Chain A
Amino acid sequence: MSQDLRYNPQRILSLQDRALAVVNHLDAATSHDPAASGALAVARSVRTRLCEGLLPTVRRIAASDAMLTWTAEGAAAGSLLDSASGGGWLTLLRAGFTSGPERALGLELAGDAAALAVAGEWNERDAAALSAALDAAPPEVLATFFTEVTGSGFAEYMLATSRRSPGDASGAPAAAAARTAFAHAAAQGLLPPSFMTEVIDRIAVEHAARADGDVSGLVLSYLFHGEQLPTDVLVEAGEALYRVETDPAISERIAKGHPEIFWRPVGAVSRFEHSTLTAEFLDEEQAEGRRPTIVGEAVLALDPMYALVDQLSRDGAAGRTLLTDADGARRVSSSFATYLFGTREVMGDGGRRVTAVAATAAAGPEIVVGAPDDDMNRAAAVASGFVNTFGWRHADVPVAERSVMSVSVATILGRHMPSVHQAALTTQEGDLRGGSTQTYSYSPFGDEAHGWRAQMDPDYLGNMVDIAVTSDDAMVVLGAATRQFETRVAQATAARVVQGELDGGALDAILGQAGRLEGMFIAHIGGHAQYVGRTRDEAAGRWIGALESAVSVPRSLVTTSVVMSAVIDGGTDGGFDALRKRFASAEKAAIAGAEKQAEATVDGLELVWQRAFVEAGALRLNSAVDFFDDEGNLRPWEDLDDFERDEFEAAVRNPSANGAPTLNTAAISAEVKLAQQRFFVPGGVKSVG
């Protein structure tokens, strides 16, 4: 097939002359004899076909600028797609074909290029030419190329590039050209229906047939390792990959229930080292400052799920589509989610990619208060499925691996802090497996529902909290979200108290529930600190000390109105960034002993609640000190000197009587201690699970 698509420009000009000579000759054929009418009709027909068929085609080629630079080596000497020689055909491809014979020619060229690619008889120059042509091809030509090449043919082409010998310089550029064109076509919606499915099916079948030592999975990884693919293609890819990996007819002979083995059969690592597609995986590692190892990289590169998941970690919409299904108004985990979080081996990179996928889908930047209801519902379902499935499976992740996942996990828990709070209040020892959502309501926010919350199993949530508290960056994310949530609850509660909608008993219950959340985090933080050899008291002290961050931020930065939602975000939920900065810089001396930590936690929480109550008018300070700024807002805690702080604490403990329920410190204290006891055993690590 490599004989296709060649021409000699000088002979093209001569061909045009010959065609015109034929036309002129036939024009001269005349007769008035009725017996000649049939022959003259034939002559006119031949003339018409030349004028409407061959001549426009030849004229178009002859008129191409590329003709000026084309080297007349004869058609057999060069490729039609030869960019090195100026590429007359490339010019045609690039020019765009909008109508008439030119359009037909462009589409034909695309088809020929596709045939050339599939035939596998291309050389280095062909690959470069194909790259240049497809890179600049107009959409219709690009669409034709991929329609003609088909998903199966494209898979074969990519497989052929991966199997070129290391000394063959054509493999890598050919693969790069095809991948770039593929990404561009995908981005423009030019791939034919089911193209991605065909690619994956073909590669999986080829791989299953070749078995030992094959590196077909690398081809898929390579495709996913390029430019970001659009949502629809990623969803199709995820569904197809899941299907082939779980289809016994395809994978069982090799994998025997372990897809990662399916893609990495015996001998594959050695083959990986010599594949033309390997270099960029190793280069990436080196660019990130790591020293790559063949074995380590082979594990990740040969298994296409890692590269696909990497793509998904940058596309929240694709993740939410793949990871959730509808169940009436609720959203639940999809079978893909159960597979990815609970069955498949995805920890080859320490869990970095799989947790990033969950974080983007559950807590990406678009998951903010006011986002479309279905997006929020699905995001909550992803968070729920992740905590309940991944948390169930990874109860004992080695400490060294936790920090890799910590920020992603903290991001999920932080964004869905109201759901975490609900789970922390749960006493039921049920076994929630898989993800599901339900409407969110909480008494400080009234009886009505405010969006969707993630249902989380308390035990599996505990496993995730253990991971989320293992790095400073993750602690900042988690801490800021916790403070924001606490502030929101305190403000909403204060507002309802002022309206007379909550009595003392209800207030005590809400205070206790705030203490429960704090107690859970302190227990897990202390547990991790012991693991890594730091003093748990120091770690807990820092977390508790940062409680003050919630009252150190000027009110105008925290929030101007109570946001009732099942998510905590840095967008509409104002002040989150300010809290995060405050939390990041919080320092506190070690607080020794669980009892002291509980007291300090209660003190910190008290400040949060007192501030909210004072600002809402639910608590009137009886002091000569002016604690308010010119705008009537409470001055930030850090702006108060020691005397003023003492005065404030005295004033809030002896407020002017206004009929409102008092803030009951004991309610907080009891729950903090209870939570500590539930989650932490002195001298041990944790009692959960």
Chain B
Amino acid sequence: MSADPSAAELRRRARGLRTLATHLDNTPVDDLLRWAGPDTWISARAEAIRTDLAAERHRLRAAADDLREHARWLDAQAEVAEAAAALAQGMPA
């Protein structure tokens, strides 16, 4: 565990973002898409809804990816903060 309080906060935030990303990833849109398929209904409107759902799934995945990317950046910032703190104390990071 990092002794630097700022690095610890950055890692806490990163965990929170990853948790949210996982939650978004776990949104049962794939299941919804399967049930919205031709076995359930077929019409122009159904097809439009399926197209919309696929787009929403893509947006959710993209949002989750953004969250994980931001989490990685926070982690990197945390490492930088921890290294800076170690240098300041004369210890290797």
Question: Which residues from chain A contact B29 at a C-beta distance below 8 Å?
Answer: 22, 46
Q: List 12 A-B contacts (CB under 8 A).
A: A5-B43, A8-B40, A25-B23, A29-B23, A43-B24, A46-B60, A49-B56, A53-B52, A57-B49, A74-B39, A80-B42, A115-B44
Asked whether A75 lies within 8 Å of B41 as measured between CB atoms, the reply is yes
- Within residues 24 to 54 of chain B, which ones have a CB less than 8 A from any CB in chain A? 24, 26-29, 31-32, 35-36, 38-46, 49, 52-53
* Distance in Å: Cβ of B54 to nearest Cβ of chain A: 12
* Distance in Å: Cβ of B67 to nearest Cβ of chain A: 5
Specify which of A3, A36, A115 lies most central, judged by the most chain B CB atoms within 10 Å of its CB: A36
Specify which of A14, A43, A53, A115 lies most central, judged by the most chain B CB atoms within 10 Å of its CB: A43
Asked whether A25 lies within 8 Å of B26 as measured between CB atoms, the reply is yes
A499 at the binding interface (Cβ < 8 Å):
no
Asked whether B31 lies within 8 Å of A18 as measured between CB atoms, the reply is yes
- Within residues 45 to 93 of chain A, which ones have a CB less than 8 A from any CB in chain B? 45-46, 49-50, 53-54, 57, 61, 74-76, 80
- For B62, the closest partner residue in chain A by CB is A42
A232 at the binding interface (Cβ < 8 Å):
no
Given known pairs A5-B43, A7-B41, A35-B70, the reply for A45 and B27 (CB within 8 Å) is: no
**Is chain A's binding surface mostly helix, strand, loop or mixed?**
helix
**Is chain B's binding surface mostly helix, strand, loop or mixed?**
helix
B16 at the binding interface (Cβ < 8 Å):
yes
Give B residues with C-beta under 8 Å from A: 13, 16-17, 20-21, 23-24, 26-29, 31-32, 35-36, 38-46, 49, 52-53, 56, 59-60, 62-64, 66-67, 70, 74
B20 CB contact (under 8 Å) in A21, A31, A105 = A31
Chain A residues with a Cβ closer than 8 Å to the other chain, count = 46
* Distance in Å: Cβ of B84 to nearest Cβ of chain A: 22
Asked whether B41 lies within 8 Å of A6 as measured between CB atoms, the reply is yes
* Distance in Å: Cβ of A7 to nearest Cβ of chain B: 4
- For B21, the closest partner residue in chain A by CB is A39
A15 CB contact (under 8 Å) in B20, B35, B74 = B35
Extra pairs beyond A6-B42, A35-B74, A53-B49 (20, CB < 8 Å): A4-B43, A5-B42, A7-B41, A11-B41, A15-B40, A18-B36, A25-B23, A25-B27, A33-B20, A36-B16, A36-B17, A45-B56, A53-B52, A54-B53, A57-B49, A75-B39, A75-B42, A105-B45, A108-B44, A115-B44
Question: Which residues from chain A contact B27 at a C-beta distance below 8 Å?
Answer: 22, 25-26, 43, 46
Given known pairs A15-B40, A22-B32, the reply for A39 and B45 (CB within 8 Å) is: no
